[in-house]
Structure 1
Amino acid sequence: MTPKASDENPSPGTRPGDADAVSNPTPEALAQTVDAEVITSNQRVFTGRMGLFVALACILYTGFHIGAMNGVHTLITDALGLPSIDLTEPWRYRLAHVAGGLALGFLLFGARSLPESGADTPLGLIEKGLVALGGAAIMLATVQLGLMWATGDLIETGAPADKHVLAFGYPLVVGTCITLVASWMAPARGKGRISLADTLLAVAAVTAGAYIILHADFLRTRAQVFPHPNDMWAAIAGIILILELTRRLAGLALVIIVAVFIAYGFLGPWLPGVLNHRGYAPARFFAFIYTDNGILGPTTAISSTYIILFITFAAFLQASRVGEYFVNFAFAAAGGARGGPAKVAVFASGLMGMINGTSAGNVVSTGSLTIPLMKKVGYKPQTAASVEAAASSGGQILPPIMGAGAFIMAEITGIAYRDIVIAAIIPAILYFVSVFLMVDKEAIKKGMRGLPRSELPEFSALARRAFLFIPIVILIGALFMGYSVIRAGTLAMGAAAVVSWLTPYRMLGREILYALEIAARMSLQLVAVCAAAGVIVGVIALTGIGVRFSSLLLGFAGQSQLLALVFAMLVSIVLGMGMPTTAAYAVAAAVIAPGLVRMGIEPLTAHFFVFYYAVMSAITPPVALAAYAGAAIAQADPMKTSVESFKIGLAAFVVPFMFFYSEPMLMQGAWHEILHVFVTALFGIYLMVSAVQGWMFGPLNRVLRILTFIGALGMIAGGWTSDLLGLAVAAFVFAVQKRLLTARNAARGLD
């Protein structure tokens, strides 16, 4: 199932017909690369038998999740008269999710960048020795676990501390560490070659997961009190593998944050003030972390259900080229306007980002098209990259999917999904209006034009294929009709396949299997990252730092609620750096949201507050993953791009404070209050953009920009007094500008 690099199939991720589109470009082929799979520098692309094996493993991994969530296994066992198997039992299901994801991850992703081709450098004597030693230890632990299962000689509660430790626990951890070092030291092989060290790490991941699955019934009771040493060693091996795969797929930022939290679990007795805790023995600490209080807790619960469900939905859209249609539709609608490609990025990247749940990943997929076109019409490289980053990050706050954020919030808070989606409407509109105005005013200042109509798809032709929006409509409709998220997502997947039959890109058996295959590959980063975030959640639960942080917030609130909110904002951003939205929000919700609720803030408002800042950590310097991804495509300076992204997405850093000061912003209140807040906030957003860009109906000097920004804050605040203040300031700025501008500048500003 994995695409081959040959004349018939030009490059990984391409599909039949793409080569012709590249060599003979047409307006309709403008977005033909959007649905192509992105191959990272350390990703392996197998062919032949190995490619078939990995493809089947990916299909089984995705199929297991979709089937288990929809009860397919029960239907099969009932039809065959077999004993019922509960695949959705939380511990076992989530362990299979994590262990399977780790195994696939190590098979598919190398420890560092892999060469496209060339002769393999043979392993040195040291590397061979490490692989042999580590492999022997891992296989010893695997065989021992197999014997334990076959003979029923499991480690029951109260078993001697040395039972099977020499044959299982020690070899598993030592073998994992040695093999991990070997994978770092081994010379990089070609993308089409398997690594023995990484294969052994995949075996270790399955072994560690299988141990916990077999002992789940015992661990539920003993992990928090008197765990067996083997429980600790299996957990340590699992955590090491989770962090290594996270490093390979998401970089070092999250790994460092997790390492700090792990260190905190042991250093607490020596830390001052709110950070102090009594400390924990290693056995209890690590065994606790690998339970549903930590790694198997809310972050993995979300990644094993909602995230993989909607990644599979996105894969179906990708395989049927519906995503390509979305982008072409945006180009046809806005590509010819001034600064057209940037406006296309705002709409298309927001829509795609809403579905796929990762800002940086969306930047790579849609940004590979929109960023070069933005540069073509006159945007600076860093501006083009920052627009794409801001729009892709904004997709995470765009209802109804919100990058799976809406479902996570519903899961954590118990608030109805419908209420969360409705509450998200006004803030999302304000954000995307602000980004749109940012790029529009930039285009006005630079005198930019759009793309020529001859280079754009024909709108009327695309309008006739509006039925391709049906999967999104069905998803939204099913959710609002009261269907479960899983059922709604499954129906939307089926709809994506069915509507493809009305296009040249019909999804039949092979295409559906391809969608399941790429869904598994697309999900691996989030599987690893959510598991890593689970370590943080576990440390927070074990040490009680969340409760103490709530007390600290209350102390700040006693002095100033605004100060407490600023502190909560900063911590949310820091915790979210280096994480995808879902993991960032889950951690922030565990640490910060309870404190905000104790301050008297409504749970919906508190969770939206931390959610927004967790999302926007992706465009906040210094660790702005979405901005860095865009900078790599645009060949721009990463730090300058992150600062520019922060500027373009500024509304998302201001609006959450209005959740606290003006509840109608979240659709809480009478309709006339909501309308009043919405209209005045829209005007406030316009003033804020004018101040940031230094352009209203013409250029604004520094004093007028400051006054305009003050007026913007007054309008966004939502009170009648602040609105009148904002209007007065805006009227003053407008009058002064009209007086100072020459007729030529005024005409240019209104052009």
Structure 2
Amino acid sequence: MSHTPNPRHHDDSDEDAVETVIATGVDDEPVEPNRRLFTGWHWLLFSFLAIAYSSFHLISLNVYPMETWSFRIVHIAGALILGYGLYTGASFASEGESSPVSRALTWASYALLIPAIYALVQVFLIQNAMSGGAMRIEPAVETWHFGFPLIFATASAIVISWFHRRTRQHLCPSDLVLMVAAIASAGYLLIMFNSPLRASTGTSFAPIGISWAAIAGSLLILELTRRVTGLALVVISTIFLVYVFAGPYLPGFLGYPGLSLNRFFSQVYTDAGILGPTTAVSSTYIILFIIFAAFLQASKVGDYFVNFAFAAAGRARGGPAKVAIFASGLMGMINGTSAGNVVSTGSLTIPLMKKVGYPAKSAGAIEAAASTGGQIMPPIMGAGAFIMAEITGIPYTEIAVAALIPAILYFVSVYFMVDFEAARKGMRGMRKDEIPLFSKLVKQVYLFAPIIILIAALFMGYSVIRAGTLATASAAVVSWFSPNKMGPRDILRALQLAGTMAIQIIAVCACAGLIVGVISLTGVGARFSSLLLGLAGVSQLLALLFAMCISILLGMGMPTTAAYAVAASVVAPGLINIGIQPLVAHFFVFYFAVVSAITPPVALASYAAAGISGANAMGTSVASFKIGLAAFIVPFMFFYSPAMLMEGSWFQILRVGATATLGIVLLAGMVQAWFFGPVKAWQRVVMLIGALFLIYGGIYTDIAGLVIGGALFMMQRGAHGGGAKPVTSS
């Protein structure tokens, strides 16, 4: 990725302005440290597979729909095949590196292909038997000829892949075993779920082969999740899986009668678990919007978004920080991952923030907070809005509208945190010759058309799938009017990029589905609900604080989508049981799942930003927590003032929106110890009280907050005459 500020100083003539370049390569695909970079026929093969995978979804969603479970099984299997082909399980070996251990692991991996292929052959034989009129297969045949060879090959290849190192251009044979195992597992499930035996899942009559295929599939999902997102989600999933069989021995509300291995695994790979709401969303909405984002990237719209933000906000004090807010909000809304967005836009904005005077810690924190905010920005909201619509049954458009005021409050908070820090430290904006001319960029404003078409189509009543497909097609058409025209080769490149980008989120959603399956099949969610109900009998605020802590805890170290899916299964039903509206309960959980990315001690977005800024990771996460403070207060207001989620009369909504915005400004002033000048300690306490009154949303608290805010305003204006010298200058 390259971001090139123009090194020349030039006048303001149009000719020079045309040559000004601030951001290039924002749309370049970041390559993870454990991603293989194939060449030759390997590259052609996996490019073809990625293009075929993306095309399969577009065709199935728009032209030839498949049976639901079959579609989701193929969706996960395709991601597993691509994932094991592209991501290694161990670090890469250097060129020419070889050892007896490595050679032994290579031969062991090739040997494991025998049981894996044997299991796959059995799938074809089982298919022939079922087609020939067999009602079911002998359990001993399924166990000894399909189950044991499949589990042995899968588990052994996973362990070998942790230690087997090959160069970045070569595929490990152990990963080839895992790809075959993914095909065998999916193939068997497709056969059984398209037969009358599908109705037996979760009972003692279910074919044992379903359990073996589900165990192998679960192992494959867990290992791929480890490779693409790290250990956090895998550890949480493992704890939940252990609970399934340890539950009968646990005391108190955690105890339950227990499930046998066959009953649990024959049901967990159905719509009660892995094929449930999370995969339903990843196989429809998320994959579609990943393809949309890939088309935007291929047409270089990301570069335009960032340059537009520079032209609009670059000259304000602390300009690059304000650019980060706008650019990261726009990009984060589309790409659906806080840490990923930090990497793409932060590599440009963080160095520029440091250049105008922000400390490395603050620069990283601002980028992390802004990128995290993109997840709550309608209309796309990363991917959480789609999962919320799927779980709650509330129309997607209603969720997007409800998210509007909270998103505005979050970005107003981050903006004034940045502005007040810039004022306090006397930071400058960027010079006119450092940014592109706004008048030039306005001529390309049509590049916003795909997003406008998406929003318009959604609110005109089109389905999310149809609206997303229209927006994707419009991205290609709009590019024909820009310098980055998309021809057939670029369209294929976009489809390939989408297939690669989708691997992480699909693995995460499938893994989250495993947790959701445990929660629904063991009933632990209902027992958690009863615990919340007991707390609510003492104090509803106490119950909300407990729900907040659990939501953040479940989300730590996890991507937003998985964090919300798990928290929605555990926490949201409990909140609904204590009398909170479903929309309010799910938004409460969603917000805290999102901000877990900037909550110490495990703050993925903050850690990614610290890696770019060079600051201490924990210091950056504390600073980003402070900048995103509004996101920890606003969700409580959903409960006390539902008008914040567009529930109520227009007058109520406007009043709550306006006063809460003023409260957020006071909150930012309190945190940064600056309003129209330096703020004393006692004034900061008063500002906090005024901010909480205004954010609360009640008519009397609003009046009290306005009085406090007005008094502070007059006091500051009188003391500083409308401005103040900064504490330090840079």
| Length-normalised TM-score, structure 2 | 0.94
The answer to whether the 8 A contact 2:508-2:561 is kept is no
Matching residue of 1:210: 187
Is 2:154 the partner of 1:176?
A: yes
Is 2:536 the partner of 1:544?
A: no
Please list, as runs of the form range in 1=range in 2, the aligned pairs for 1:256-275 lying within 5 A after superposition.
Answer: 256-275=235-254
Please list, as runs of the form range in 1=range in 2, the aligned pairs for 1:179-578 lying within 5 A after superposition.
Answer: 179-187=157-165, 189-216=166-193, 217-218=195-196, 220-226=198-204, 227-578=206-557
Distance in 2 between residues matched to 1:494 and 1:147, nearest whole Å: 42
2:31 to 32, 39, 57: 39
Between 646-655 and 143-152, the greater mean CA deviation after superposition: 143-152
The answer to whether the 8 A contact 2:637-2:644 is kept is yes
The one-letter code sitting in structure 2 at the alignment partner of 1:636 is: A
Distance in 1 between residues matched to 2:146 and 2:389, nearest whole Å: 40
Report the CA distance between 1:192 and its aligned residue.
1.5
Report the CA distance between 1:745 and its aligned residue.
7.8
Between 175-184 and 649-658, the greater mean CA deviation after superposition: 175-184
- Gaps spanning 5+ residues in structure 2: where? 10-15
The answer to whether the 8 A contact 2:644-2:656 is kept is yes
The answer to whether the 8 A contact 1:155-1:163 is kept is no
Matching residue of 2:96: 119
The one-letter code sitting in structure 1 at the alignment partner of 2:173 is: L
Distance in 2 between residues matched to 1:89 and 1:142, nearest whole Å: 22
Relative distance call for 1:113 and 1:375 in structure 2 (3 A) is farther
Relative distance call for 1:568 and 1:295 in structure 2 (3 A) is same
The one-letter code sitting in structure 2 at the alignment partner of 1:138 is: A
Report the CA distance between 1:215 and its aligned residue.
1.1
Is 2:583 the partner of 1:604?
A: yes
The answer to whether the 8 A contact 1:573-1:613 is kept is yes
Report the CA distance between 1:163 and its aligned residue.
2.1
The one-letter code sitting in structure 1 at the alignment partner of 2:393 is: G
Report the CA distance between 1:112 and its aligned residue.
3.0
The answer to whether the 8 A contact 1:568-1:592 is kept is yes
The DSSP-based 3-state class of the residue aligned with 1:569 is helix
Distance in 1 between residues matched to 2:218 and 2:388, nearest whole Å: 26
The answer to whether the 8 A contact 1:289-1:539 is kept is yes
Distance in 2 between residues matched to 1:200 and 1:158, nearest whole Å: 28
Please list, as runs of the form range in 1=range in 2, the aligned pairs for 1:532-681 lying within 5 A after superposition.
Answer: 532-681=511-660
Relative distance call for 1:518 and 1:733 in structure 2 (3 A) is same
Distance in 1 between residues matched to 2:61 and 2:139, nearest whole Å: 38
The answer to whether the 8 A contact 1:292-1:298 is kept is yes
Matching residue of 1:106: 84
The one-letter code sitting in structure 2 at the alignment partner of 1:177 is: A
1:554-598 residue CA offsets vs partner (Å, 9 max, x unmatched)? 111111010111111111111222222222222222222122112
Report the CA distance between 1:102 and its aligned residue.
0.6
Matching residue of 1:83: none
Matching residue of 2:704: 725
1:202-259 residue CA offsets vs partner (Å, 9 max, x unmatched)? 1111211111111113553222102333222211111111111101100100010001
The DSSP-based 3-state class of the residue aligned with 1:402 is coil
The answer to whether the 8 A contact 2:644-2:653 is kept is yes
Distance in 1 between residues matched to 2:302 and 2:7, nearest whole Å: 18
The answer to whether the 8 A contact 1:431-1:651 is kept is yes
Between 527-536 and 609-618, the greater mean CA deviation after superposition: 609-618
Relative distance call for 1:666 and 1:20 in structure 2 (3 A) is closer
Matching residue of 1:143: 121
1:518-574 residue CA offsets vs partner (Å, 9 max, x unmatched)? 001111000100000001100000011111111111111111010111111111111
The one-letter code sitting in structure 2 at the alignment partner of 1:259 is: T
Report the CA distance between 1:627 and its aligned residue.
1.2
Report the CA distance between 1:734 and its aligned residue.
4.8
The answer to whether the 8 A contact 1:268-1:277 is kept is yes
Distance in 2 between residues matched to 1:685 and 1:547, nearest whole Å: 36
Distance in 2 between residues matched to 1:219 and 1:442, nearest whole Å: 64
RMSD of aligned C-alpha atoms?
2.4
Distance in 1 between residues matched to 2:369 and 2:5, nearest whole Å: 33
Relative distance call for 1:156 and 1:568 in structure 2 (3 A) is farther
Tell me the percent identity.
Answer: 55
Report the CA distance between 1:64 and its aligned residue.
0.4
The answer to whether the 8 A contact 1:133-1:175 is kept is no
Report the CA distance between 1:447 and its aligned residue.
1.2
1:139-195 residue CA offsets vs partner (Å, 9 max, x unmatched)? 2212222222244479977644312321210011111111112111112x2222221
The one-letter code sitting in structure 1 at the alignment partner of 2:49 is: A
The answer to whether the 8 A contact 1:133-1:178 is kept is no
The DSSP-based 3-state class of the residue aligned with 2:289 is helix
| Length-normalised TM-score, structure 1 | 0.92
Report the CA distance between 1:665 and its aligned residue.
0.8
